[in-house]
Amino acid sequence: MPKMTVAELEAFYATHFPQLSSFRFKIEEVEDRFIRVRLFHHDLHLRPGGTISGPSLMTLADTAMYSLLLAMIGPVALAVTTSLNINFLRKPAAADVIAQARLLKLGSRLAVGEVTMFSDGDDEPVAHATVTYSIPPRREP
Amino acid sequence: MPKMTVAELEAFYATHFPQLSSFRFKIEEVEDRFIRVRLFHHDLHLRPGGTISGPSLMTLADTAMYSLLLAMIGPVALAVTTSLNINFLRKPAAADVIAQARLLKLGSRLAVGEVTMFSDGDDEPVAHATVTYSIPPRREP
Amino acid sequence: MPKMTVAELEAFYATHFPQLSSFRFKIEEVEDRFIRVRLFHHDLHLRPGGTISGPSLMTLADTAMYSLLLAMIGPVALAVTTSLNINFLRKPAAADVIAQARLLKLGSRLAVGEVTMFSDGDDEPVAHATVTYSIPPRREP
Amino acid sequence: MPKMTVAELEAFYATHFPQLSSFRFKIEEVEDRFIRVRLFHHDLHLRPGGTISGPSLMTLADTAMYSLLLAMIGPVALAVTTSLNINFLRKPAAADVIAQARLLKLGSRLAVGEVTMFSDGDDEPVAHATVTYSIPPRREP
């Protein structure tokens, strides 16, 4: 089960990653090995035509999975993103994007997860990513 | 809905890809945008210690997704694998491997799917892959 | 050989992607199937500790390869990023990042390239990406 | 510099991976962080039309990079493939395939490399892969 709530994740980000506040996202739900994150439809994320940009979707995938990992292991040993693979599937609608992230593996040294992203209200995914993390050895007290 | 049944897929492979028969797999179920394929635990696929080899898992992922794509679009325009990304998650057990493949996008020119692979009887995946295909333009009659 | 110069690429971006100006990068050189792009070390791109963030490196990889593709085919048919795979290799230094992008394939429908990224002045890469694009059919006049 | 020669790698495979002998490949050269491996054009690797199959190219990429890693760290702590990403670029010719593999990172826990594959005698690559490995902690004596 998660070791951190949505409120604890938000407090952690406000303290340690203040620059993330400009990314305009919201963690909506944390469960065992699952998280749902909303990216707000905002000028910052747009390409001409009102479409959410590829880089914003990549950042969303990494942020969602990093948040899930943090929730599961707690803010003890900070994970490092080692790889990200994303497939862009459809042009996003002029709407928020919802990321649903799931851990496929949570080992002591490596974690792997997948993220499916949808335009809010749509059933067909706009992008799908897999992300891997290296978890540093915990420092002994 | 699929345009080909399991029996039609098997007949197609026997005619067009006879060398695949040595791969020792079986298509178990085809549904709309979903397929389940079993890789038999066989010497051919093993690494020392009785573990299914990485190359066998990659071949399984490609074969499962290719079969699903074939089932969905029919044997008209043969798709070409353009990329495959696989994460190896756990050491497979000494057992068959079950691949569950799902299409994330089926466009007129590109298709993208994901495959989750399990040791038979286990809940935790041993590998996860995403595979992309280019679908050639149909030749006019 | 390229169909667009660095100055023409800059003019194209200023007109069609004005929001990219906030990304703080500069195209330094375009050759046949090769481009070099500099990402300026700027607060916008930083994580705590002064490290260039993963999302900034992903955006750099996509921007460099998109610029190379644009230079090679000209601003006729706009390519669409279909996938990006990145491996993060080392913590970037507190310095600009130099991206060297190379086309591996430039077909009529698909393009594939690889991008190696270095901290300015360092020999060991900080990240490596492969990026794929779909090139839409040209509209007949 | 490498800790194992081509002859030592061959002896290692003959002893520990006898089933690889059916894969019909040859390590041609090992240098610092670089290896060249030849996959023989053989019925085993072919698809209808005489083309080398995708699974054979994936196996080649993994085998080449694994051999390079083994050469660089020695047969002490056996690395485990954690991910493989491959882009298929062109239909291979009816010829041997040459893999050129290069390490991008050789850390104490993770290694990452890239492999470019060519039909023998051709300049344009048929496939490009990146492969990552987890290196287990060395057992203390």
Question: Which tokens in the block code for residue D16?
Answer: 């520990």
Verify whether the Cβ–Cβ distance A85 to D82 is below 8 Å: no
Residues A72 and A112 sit within 8 Å (Cβ to Cβ): no
Better pLDDT: B75 or C11 = C11
Distance CA C94, CA C43 (A): 11
Q: C82 to chain B: which residues are within 8 Å by CB?
A: 110, 132
Residues A52-59, mean pLDDT to the nearest whole number: 92
In Å, how far is B44's CA from the nearest CA of chain D?
Answer: 8
Place C141 in a pLDDT band, splitting at 50, 70 and 90: very low
Residue A140 reports pLDDT greater than 60: no
What pLDDT was estimated at residue C48? 66
Query: What are φ and ψ of residue A111, in 5° steps?
Result: -135, 145
What pLDDT was estimated at residue B140? 46
Residue A24 reports pLDDT greater than 50: yes
Percentage of the residues of chain A whose pLDDT score is greater than 90: 73
Q: C111 to chain B: which residues are within 8 Å by CB?
A: none
Buried b (16+ CB within 10 A) or exposed e, B75-92: eeeebebbbbbbbbbeeb
Instruction: Give the chain C residue whose CA is nearest to the CA of B111.
Output: C82
The DSSP string of C50-96 is: TEEPHHHHHHHHHHHHHHHHHHHH-SSS--EEEEEEEEE-SPPPSS-
Instruction: Give the chain A residue whose CA is nearest to the CA of B114.
Output: A128
What pLDDT was estimated at residue A136? 83
Query: What are φ and ψ of residue D32, in 5° steps?
Result: -65, 115
Q: Which chains touch A (3 or more CB pairs under 8 A)?
A: B, C, D
What pLDDT was estimated at residue B48? 66
Distance CA C34, CA A89 (A): 27
Question: Which tokens in the block code for residue B139?
Answer: 């030749």
Verify whether the Cβ–Cβ distance C134 to B110 is below 8 Å: yes
Measured in residues, chain C has a length of: 141
Better pLDDT: C21 or A97 = A97
Residue A17 reports pLDDT greater than 70: yes
3-state secondary structure (DSSP) of residue A75: coil
Interface test with A, best of B84, B85, B88, B104 (most A CBs within 10 A): B104
Query: What are φ and ψ of residue B69, in 5° steps?
Result: -65, -45
Better pLDDT: B11 or C138 = B11
Amino acid at C20: L
What pLDDT was estimated at residue D106? 96
Residues B25 and B37 sit within 8 Å (Cβ to Cβ): yes
Distance CA A70, CA A9 (A): 8
Better pLDDT: D18 or C105 = C105
> Mean pLDDT across chain D, nearest whole number?
91
Tens-digit pLDDT profile for residues C45-73: 777 667 888 999 999 999 999 999 999 99
In Å, how far is D102's CA from the nearest CA of chain C?
Answer: 12
Q: Which chains touch D (3 or more CB pairs under 8 A)?
A: A, B, C
**Residues of A near D (CB-CB distance < 8 A)?**
82-83, 85, 109-110, 132, 134
Q: D132 to chain A: which residues are within 8 Å by CB?
A: 82-83, 132
Residues C90-113, mean pLDDT to the nearest whole number: 95
Distance CA D9, CA B10 (A): 40
User: Which are the contacts of C59, defined by CB distance < 8 A and separation ≥ 6?
Assistant: A55, A58, C23
Question: Which tokens in the block code for residue B69?
Answer: 């794509």
User: Which are the contacts of A2, defined by CB distance < 8 A and separation ≥ 6?
Assistant: A30, A31, A32, A71, A72
- Please report, in tens digits, the pLDDT of each residue of chain B (141 residues total): 999 999 999 999 998 887 777 789 999 999 999 999 999 988 777 776 678 889 999 999 999 999 999 999 998 767 899 999 999 999 999 899 999 999 999 998 999 999 999 999 999 999 999 999 999 876 544
Verify whether the Cβ–Cβ distance C110 to B85 is below 8 Å: no
Place A42 in a pLDDT band, splitting at 50, 70 and 90: confident
Verify whether the Cβ–Cβ distance B110 to C85 is below 8 Å: no
Nearest residue to C124 (alpha-carbon basis) of D106, B46, B25, A73: D106
What pLDDT was estimated at residue B75? 86
In Å, how far is D79's CA from the nearest CA of chain A?
Answer: 14
Amino acid at D117: M
Burial class (CB in 10 A: 0-12, 13-18, 19+), A57: buried
In Å, how far is D22's CA from the nearest CA of chain C?
Answer: 30
Interface test with A, best of B105, B109, B116, B122 (most A CBs within 10 A): B105
- Write down the residue that tokens 């081509």 correspond to: D6
Residues A97-108, mean pLDDT to the nearest whole number: 96
Residue B49 CA neighbour count, 13 Å, CB half? 7
Q: A16 to chain C: which residues are within 8 Å by CB?
A: 48
What pLDDT was estimated at residue A141? 45
Place D77 in a pLDDT band, splitting at 50, 70 and 90: low
Residues A50 and A83 sit within 8 Å (Cβ to Cβ): no
Question: Which tokens in the block code for residue C121?
Answer: 């002045």
CA distances from A99 to A18, A19, A96, B20, B132 (A): 21, 20, 10, 38, 21
Instruction: Give the chain B residue whose CA is nearest to the CA of C85.
Output: B85
| β pairing state of B34-39 and B25-31 | antiparallel
Minimum-distance CB partner of A128 among B89, B114, B124: B114
- Write down the residue that tokens 């994330």 correspond to: B104
What pLDDT was estimated at residue C137? 76
Percentage of the residues of chain D whose pLDDT score is greater than 70: 95
Angle between helix D54-73 and B54-73 (nearest 10): 160
Percentage of the residues of chain A whose pLDDT score is greater than 70: 95
Verify whether the Cβ–Cβ distance C85 to B85 is below 8 Å: yes
Query: What are φ and ψ of residue B138, in 5° steps?
Result: -70, 135
Place D141 in a pLDDT band, splitting at 50, 70 and 90: very low
Residues C67 and C7 sit within 8 Å (Cβ to Cβ): no
Residues D118 and D101 sit within 8 Å (Cβ to Cβ): no
Verify whether the Cβ–Cβ distance C81 to A59 is below 8 Å: no
Residues A73 and A35 sit within 8 Å (Cβ to Cβ): no
Distance CA D113, CA D104 (A): 5
Q: What share of chain B is helix, strand, coil (3-state, %, to 5)?
A: 30, 40, 30
Distance CA C4, CA B7 (A): 53
Q: D89 to chain C: which residues are within 8 Å by CB?
A: 104-105, 112
| Whole-structure pTM value | 0.94
Distance CA D53, CA D47 (A): 5
Distance CA C97, CA C88 (A): 13
Residue A139 reports pLDDT greater than 60: no
Verify whether the Cβ–Cβ distance C132 to B85 is below 8 Å: no
For D69-117, the three-class secondary structure string (H helix, E strand, C coil) is HHHHHCCCCCCEEEEEEEEECCCCCCCCEEEEEEEEEECCCEEEEEEEE
What pLDDT was estimated at residue D91? 93
> Mean pLDDT across chain A, nearest whole number?
91
What pLDDT was estimated at residue C140? 46
Instruction: Give the chain A residue whose CA is nearest to the CA of B118.
Output: A104
Verify whether the Cβ–Cβ distance C132 to B82 is below 8 Å: yes
